[in-house]
Amino acid sequence: MAKSAIFKPSLFGLKHSNRDFSQKETWGKNQFNSSFPASLCAYLDGKGLKNVYLKLDENLKIQPAELSTQELYGLAPDSDNLFYAFASQFRGGSKMITIDLFAGCGGLSLGFQKAGFTIVAAFDNWIPAIDVYSNNFSHPIFNVDLSRESNQEILAQYNPEIIVGSPPCQDFSSAGKRDEGLGRANLTLTFAEIVTRVSPQWFVMENVDRIEKSKILTQAKQIFKSHGYGLTGKVINSCYCGVPQTRKRYFLIGKMNEEDDFLIDEINDNLSSQPLTVFDYMGKELDIEYYYRHPRSYQRRAIFSIYEPSPTIRGVNRPVPKTYRQHPGDACHLNEKLRPLTTRERSYIQTFPKDFIFAGTKSNLEQMIGNAVPINLARYVGQCILNYELKKGKKTTYRQLQLSKWL
């Protein structure tokens, strides 16, 4: 499985103390350090998160210690003239305001939410997917045709720090038609136009790997570059980042005023060295060792083992046809017990959690599950973004915290 992202404590504030510690008993809590208010300490304490206390003396020697909220205000410092910094396991980026375009049933939203982002709104215009999304998230999803410019005005009111999205990909996908001029490919340009109009600090666009060599992507990149975004483009195989599936997807990640390829090392360095198999992920939860996955062509194998990654979960799922002939690459011989994965099992391969609520017709559910971004893939990309921010030592914008000074 992919290596877990490491989150270091995030600096919330820095303040020089010029108070007489002999009078400490008379201080109010917020007098002790106004850039780390008591209310925030109480919030962290209520969440079971530890406060980290950093003492920097005149020689810039750092003395960290984990403290409870009570200890934080009762500790006697070593000197009357120290700098005080407070950090917490409250993750940097957990207040990064995010909106999701072309959200489908919510794979990208859930992955970024699990990484620590705050999704405030989502947008799609396929009712079956919208219904599933709304049953699983507390924030709103809007039934909006984003190709119409008049419908894009609602996005700006959220003032997002990052926009994520998966423009429909059928015109790039080998599972559908391959003509970029058919219309859906143009939604990639719509995504670029929306992002540059709203102008968030970050954006993430996901699509099939075939888009990498398309003219539409070249045009979209030009739009992003002309508005000041540095770009990182990368095809990621899901089985190397916590998904038991050989699903290759292209991600274009942009950040305002960065150099191109700024995130490439973070993405590459954290990928697992071994592909994740179905058995690695699900263990003995499946009551089968082999399963059928209908091929696009009978020149391809159709029988797979749980001891390898699943092939790409698509929007169709069919039983074993009576006319199927054994393929030399099949993982086992045809037998009466052989079956396709169920709709719910396919959602697990896409790393949807067991408590995710799916409701609707079988064909609609198969399609939205097949179209979804795997949750763990989205989470991986989100964690790479947060790790990059932390390693760069840059503060994330916290709209609800007004900090007096930063290190």
Residue 16 lies in a domain: yes
Quick one: 38 and 115 in the same domain? no
Confidence (pLDDT) at 217: 96
> 175-189, 325-339, 388-402: which has the minimum mean pLDDT?
388-402
pLDDT at 323 over 60: yes
Residue 368 lies in a domain: no
Quick one: what percent of the chain has pLDDT higher than 90? 57
- Domain span at residue 61 reads 10-88
Give the 3-state secondary structure of 14-30. EEECCCCHHHHHHCCHH
Q: How many beta carbons lie within 10 A of that of residue 58, not counting itself?
A: 9
List of E strands, 23-175: 51-56, 62-67, 83-88, 97-101, 118-124, 141-143, 162-165
Quick one: 73 and 112 in the same domain? no
Q: Give, in order, the Cα–Cα distances in Å from 212 to each of 169, 205, 261.
A: 12, 12, 15
Q: What tens digit of pLDDT does each residue of 224-249 get?
A: 999 999 999 999 999 999 999 999 99
Q: Of 88, 110, 139, which residue is a domain's last?
A: 88
Quick one: 76 and 218 in the same domain? no
Q: Of 42, 57, 88, which residue is a domain's last?
A: 88
Three-state secondary-structure class, residue 106: coil
Quick one: 186 and 111 in the same domain? yes
CATH of the domain at 115: 3.40.50.150
For residues 179-189, give the mean pLDDT: 64
Quick one: 139 and 34 in the same domain? no
Quick one: 35 and 177 in the same domain? no
Residue 84 lies in a domain: yes
- Give residue 165's identity as a one-letter amino acid code: G
Q: What tens digit of pLDDT does each residue of 147-169 get?
A: 888 777 888 889 999 999 999 86
Residue 158 lies in a domain: yes
Q: What tens digit of pLDDT does each residue of 247-305 get?
A: 999 999 999 999 999 999 999 999 999 999 999 999 989 989 999 998 888 878 999 99
Quick one: 115 and 226 in the same domain? yes
Is residue 145 within 8 Å of residue 186, measured between CB atoms? no
> 45-54, 289-298, 315-324, 374-383: which has the minimum mean pLDDT?
45-54
Residue 128's pLDDT band, with cuts at 50, 70 and 90, is very high
Residue 24 lies in a domain: yes
pLDDT at 379 over 60: yes
pLDDT at 116 over 70: yes
Count the domains in the chain: 2
> 49-63, 67-81, 235-249, 264-278: which has the minimum mean pLDDT?
67-81
Quick one: 149 and 256 in the same domain? yes
Quick one: 113 and 237 in the same domain? yes
Quick one: 193 and 213 in the same domain? yes
pLDDT at 14 over 60: no
pLDDT at 11 over 90: no
Residue 346 lies in a domain: no
Per DSSP bridges, beta strands 303-305 and 290-292 are antiparallel
Confidence (pLDDT) at 57: 44
Torsion angles phi and psi, residue 239, rounded to 5:
-70, -10
Residue 162 lies in a domain: yes
Q: Of 29, 62, 88, which residue is a domain's last?
A: 88
CATH of the domain at 69: 3.30.1490
Is residue 378 within 8 Å of residue 111, measured between CB atoms? yes
The distance between the two most distant Cα atoms of the chain, rounded to a whole number of Å, is: 89
Residue 82 lies in a domain: yes
What is the rounded distance in angstroms from the CA atom of residue 263 to the CA atom of residue 228?
16
Catalytic sites, residue numbers: 169
Quick one: 16 and 65 in the same domain? yes
Quick one: 15 and 129 in the same domain? no
